[in-house]
Structure 1
Amino acid sequence: MYTGIVHGAFPLASVVRKPGLHQLYIDLPPVLLEDLTIGASVGLDGVCMTVTSIDGGRVSFDAMQETLSLTTLGDLSEGDRVNVERSAKQGAEIGGHNISGHVDGRAEIIAIEESENNCTLRFRLPSNLSKYVFKKGFIGVSGCSLTVADYKRDEAEFSVCLIPETLRVTTFAEKRVGDRVNIEVDRQTQVIVDTVERVLAERA
């Protein structure tokens, strides 16, 4: 479980591509290495990944075919930066919202609006996720807990507003129109929507 409060964005030191598997290596700072063990979970761009090796400050993760197909991790190369969050500890403050690290799909950036101290990103969602997004609701975008600023249901488009600190800590400042991001819908919203749909279908 994660909170959606990204600890930092760090470049991939190496990507080893094998059939159906990519091994991702990343150098983490001491603060993120504390008590980290093989088998621990770490969020990379919103994807829950398992630590497979630790060599000094270099940590590796295995991305299997399902992960490569569903998320943006398969598009990454050496030097690309990823948002990193250690899994939440019991009792820790949740500054964002609960994120599982199980990505539902990818969204495309279709517009970027920048002004002094403000940045708004607009995304187009896969149609199957559209019903789970609401204005002022939570959404996980590449591991970052964000609030939906505006939403056009018919077009399956939503926007988020980013403060300078978010741009500093994450990879969003590097994004361009056409780039894709990982999306995780709010699980509580998903459960409510699916339950209401099921009940209505049963009554019909």
Structure 2
Amino acid sequence: MFTGLIQAVGRIASREARGGDLRLGIAVGALRMDDVQLGESIAVSGVCLTVVAFDAEKFFADVSNETLALTTLGSLADGAPVNLERSLRASDHLGGHLVAGHVDGVGAVERIVEDGRSQRWRFAAPKALLRYIAVKGSIAVDGVSLTVNSADDRGFEVNLVPHTVAHTAFAATTAGSPVNLEIDVVARYVERLATTKDWT
């Protein structure tokens, strides 16, 4: 699990075809790596990946064709910036919301409008996800925990404060860019409970 609070901005360092899928190398930037262990999870722009090799400057993760098809990772070029977050420990503060790192779909930035010192970002979202996106609810966009300001039958809007823009890959994101979307995990369970008529 993750919190959606980005710890560093890294970059795609390498892409190596392996057995029909891909091994990604991620340059970690300022992400703390002193106690990383093989097999632990790191979210890369909202996608939970497993560390299979690492050093002080980068780590490597195998990415399945399913993940490549259902997220933005398959289309990222070498050097592309990515949001990084190591997995949540029991002693950590939960400052964002619970994020699983399981991307539900790919959306796109529709527009970015200056709003005082902040920015209002509008995202298009797949129709199948819109029912789970609620005003004042949480959503993870490229792994960043955000609060929904408005939502309609095509997408949703959030406000980004200067700190969020400056300390995430949003600083290099423009209108038209694809983004990974993960709905609030609570919404999945609420729907399951509401649509199951009889558990006995």
Residue aligned with 1:14, SS: strand
- The answer as to 2:142 corresponding to 1:142 is yes
| RMSD of aligned alpha carbons | 1.6
Measure the CA separation in 1 of the matches of 2:30 and 2:156.
36
Matches within 5 A, 1:63-142: 63-142=63-142
1:191 aligns with 189
Instruction: Rate the CA distance shift 1:17–1:119 in 2: closer, same or farther, 3 A.
Output: farther
Measure the CA separation in 2 of the matches of 1:148 and 1:111.
15
Question: 1:177 Cα shift?
Answer: 1.6
Question: 1:29 Cα shift?
Answer: 4.7
Q: TM-score, normalised by structure 2?
A: 0.93
**When you count helix as a share of all residues, which structure comes out higher?**
1
Measure the CA separation in 2 of the matches of 1:20 and 1:101.
23
CA contact (8 A) 2:33 2:56 kept: no
Q: How many residues align?
A: 198
1:39 aligns with 39
Measure the CA separation in 2 of the matches of 1:143 and 1:31.
15
Percent of residue pairs identical: 35
Instruction: Rate the CA distance shift 1:31–1:125 in 2: closer, same or farther, 3 A.
Output: closer
- The answer as to 2:17 corresponding to 1:17 is yes
Measure the CA separation in 2 of the matches of 1:84 and 1:117.
25
Measure the CA separation in 1 of the matches of 2:142 and 2:128.
18
Q: Deviations over 1:93-113 (max 9, x none)?
A: 000000010111111111111
Q: TM-score, normalised by structure 1?
A: 0.91
Question: 1:7 Cα shift?
Answer: 0.4
2:156 aligns with 158
Measure the CA separation in 1 of the matches of 2:87 and 2:129.
25
Question: 1:31 Cα shift?
Answer: 5.1
Mind listing any 5+ residue stretches in structure 2 that lack a counterpart? none
Measure the CA separation in 2 of the matches of 1:30 and 1:171.
13
Instruction: Rate the CA distance shift 1:156–1:20 in 2: closer, same or farther, 3 A.
Output: farther
Question: 1:35 Cα shift?
Answer: 1.0
Measure the CA separation in 2 of the matches of 1:107 and 1:47.
14
Of 188-197 and 26-35, the range deviating more from structure 2: 26-35
- The answer as to 2:49 corresponding to 1:49 is yes
